[in-house]
Amino acid sequence: MSLRSPFIIFVVMKNERLIFVTNDDGYSSKGFQAAIEVARRFGNVVAVAPERAQSGMSQAITIYNPLYVNTIRAEEGLEIYSLSGTPVDCVKMAFDYMLRDRKVDLVISGINHGSNSAVNVLYSGTMGAAIEGSFYDCPSVGLSLTSHDADADFTAAVYYGTQVVESVLAADMPLPLCLNVNVPVGTVDEIKGVRVCRQTRGCWREEFYCRRDPHNRDYFWLTGDFHNSEPDAEDTDEWALNHGYVSVVPVQVDLTDYAQMERLKKLM
Amino acid sequence: MSLRSPFIIFVVMKNERLIFVTNDDGYSSKGFQAAIEVARRFGNVVAVAPERAQSGMSQAITIYNPLYVNTIRAEEGLEIYSLSGTPVDCVKMAFDYMLRDRKVDLVISGINHGSNSAVNVLYSGTMGAAIEGSFYDCPSVGLSLTSHDADADFTAAVYYGTQVVESVLAADMPLPLCLNVNVPVGTVDEIKGVRVCRQTRGCWREEFYCRRDPHNRDYFWLTGDFHNSEPDAEDTDEWALNHGYVSVVPVQVDLTDYAQMERLKKLM
């Protein structure tokens, strides 16, 4: 038995563009409001975001638990829901249930509090949701600001996020299209512009802090540093961000390593 | 303060190969024992696996919670630990804490109960851990059996997993090297052999089951079907598995979509 969705009351009645918004910091984050501000410039908005922070959740899905939805706000042109799951759960819930009879024109995921450049694209819940969004026949844009501050200033991120979305919608690019957009800290004027980049090579090396809890058990807490393998490569997203540019990396989902594939064919 | 690891008592004293094993179904799963069986054929084994099932956890990391380690077994040549985190946490805990002064020769993640072919590579905790393992300068192999049965027969998966690992170690292939190996259900003789493949194009479309809980709240449960966009493509992993072959897909972590990058450069 699959019940009719009780959601989506106003938006379905209008004939404008429909933008879906999600994030990984949760529906109450400042960056989520900033993403909605970008989206509202392009059409009606349905937003489904995690009820709690889900940073580092990658493309995780909830298999072992049921999901609960709450209506946060429902007015003409803007409906916001929270979901007790991961960012990818939010995308699936929206496209395969709430909006399953509707054409969605664009996905925006973010605006993340913190950079998702380089290999962070693999761990990021924001980018996990953006990638998932690109599976539903519309362009998908992940937006991040390189500040973890809960009260960060999103003015420039909204400005450049709007610019990127406008270009994408105007160009009618071939699908699938998923963009990883990172905006450095700074004012609109301080930022030098937008650079299309490739993903920087590098990885994280962690430091585990060990403490003893009140029950006398050792616990460990993950922390670490990103090691950039190519700090001088001017075509990378890390270079762009470190030099005051907005980075735009198009993201694909075919993980096949074709060079290794040829070597393996000879081997096996 | 970072305390010295109290772990790894026996293994550090020997001079054989060191194999790290993890999975996403948890340390008590039958497939995990099967992966250890494969690993023991090649050297000493340190295994760190989630204390609870973590299917669908992708490359998620634990940011908001501390992690606890338990020793499950410690004997000469084989040490098994459980961790209260994700599969990727297990890899990081092993390489950046427990084994940080040791050279690891190989990572094995699995053997997963269920296929990780096609786009499942993106959602899979098994493959999230395998990808993470490939960041630590050794070959990394994710092994999966196309059966979700908790009591599945892993004989053929152990046989072919051993064969693939043997080839990889003997060939001394360039790094990074991460393999997504899927084994169909069947006996060793029924399976037709090993095929090196590319990742099948396709995606999941979900069905949300809605029920009412004892507190009269609606809940949703994720379920769905994989849609194969190219069922007849003989060079894909889905085709191989559906025709009785073991599939081997080399996995990369550069998600840059270079074709879209060129289009975007003209646009922006």
Cβ A222–B89 below 8 Å, yes or no? yes
- pLDDT level of residue A2 (50, 70, 90 thresholds): very low
Of the candidates A6, A194, A261, the beta carbon closest to that of B268 is on A194
Nearest-Cα distance to chain A for B98, in Å, is: 10
Calpha distance B57→B87 (Å, rounded): 8
Cα B204 to Cα A172, A252, B147, B166, B235: the distances in Å are 25, 16, 18, 34, 20
Of the candidates A58, A68, A97, the beta carbon closest to that of B219 is on A68
pLDDT in tens, B197-231: 999 999 999 999 999 999 999 999 999 999 999 99
Calpha distance A262→B6 (Å, rounded): 43
User: What pLDDT does B268 receive?
Assistant: 85
Calpha distance B267→B247 (Å, rounded): 39
Cβ A58–B128 below 8 Å, yes or no? yes
Cβ-based contacts of B89 with chain A (< 8 Å)? 222
Nearest-Cα distance to chain B for A199, in Å, is: 6
List the one residue out of A228, A4, A159, A11 whose CA is nearest residue A97.
A4
Between strands B218-228 and B202-212, the pairing is: antiparallel
Burial class (CB in 10 A: 0-12, 13-18, 19+), B102: middle
List A202's β-bridge partners, or say none. A228
Cβ-based contacts of A218 with chain B (< 8 Å)? 3, 6, 68-69
Nearest-Cα distance to chain B for A15, in Å, is: 25
- Tell me which chain A residue has its CA closest to the CA of residue B91: A206
The three-class DSSP label of residue A235 is coil
Calpha distance B36→B108 (Å, rounded): 8
pLDDT in tens, A134-188: 999 999 999 999 999 999 999 999 999 999 999 999 998 999 999 999 999 999 9
Nearest-Cα distance to chain B for A19, in Å, is: 20
Cβ A220–B67 below 8 Å, yes or no? yes
pLDDT in tens, B91-135: 999 999 999 999 999 999 999 999 999 999 999 999 999 999 999
Calpha distance A265→B78 (Å, rounded): 33
Cα A176 to Cα A159, A211, A259, B191: the distances in Å are 24, 46, 23, 35
Nearest-Cα distance to chain A for B181, in Å, is: 12
User: What pLDDT does B10 receive?
Assistant: 60
pTM of structure: 0.95
pLDDT in tens, A183-194: 999 999 999 999
Cβ-based contacts of A252 with chain B (< 8 Å)? 255-257, 260
DSSP class per residue in A105-123: -EEEEEEEES---TTHHHH
The residue with tokens 């092994």 is B143
pLDDT in tens, B2-61: 344 566 656 555 569 999 999 999 999 999 999 999 999 999 999 999 999 999 999 999
Exposure on the CB side of residue B210, measured as CA atoms within 13 A: 14
Burial class (CB in 10 A: 0-12, 13-18, 19+), A214: exposed
Cβ A123–B207 below 8 Å, yes or no? no
Cβ A93–B208 below 8 Å, yes or no? yes
Please give the mean pLDDT across all residues of chain B: 94
State which H helix or E strand residue A133 sits in: helix A125-133
Of the candidates A173, A180, A255, the beta carbon closest to that of B263 is on A173
Cα B199 to Cα A253, B57, B168: the distances in Å are 9, 19, 19
Cβ A222–B61 below 8 Å, yes or no? yes
User: What pLDDT does B172 receive?
Assistant: 86
- Tell me which chain B residue has its CA closest to the CA of residue A250: B257
Task: Give the best residue of B25, B63, B64 to mutate against chain A (max A CB count within 10 A).
Answer: B63
Cβ A196–B252 below 8 Å, yes or no? no
What would the two tokens of residue A171 be? Answer: 């160009």
List the one residue out of A169, A195, A166, A37 whose CA is nearest residue A110.
A37
Chains A, B: CB contacts within 8 A come to 242
pLDDT in tens, A58-115: 999 999 999 999 999 999 999 999 999 999 999 999 999 999 999 999 999 999 999 9
List the one residue out of A220, A237, A4 whose CA is nearest residue A119.
A237
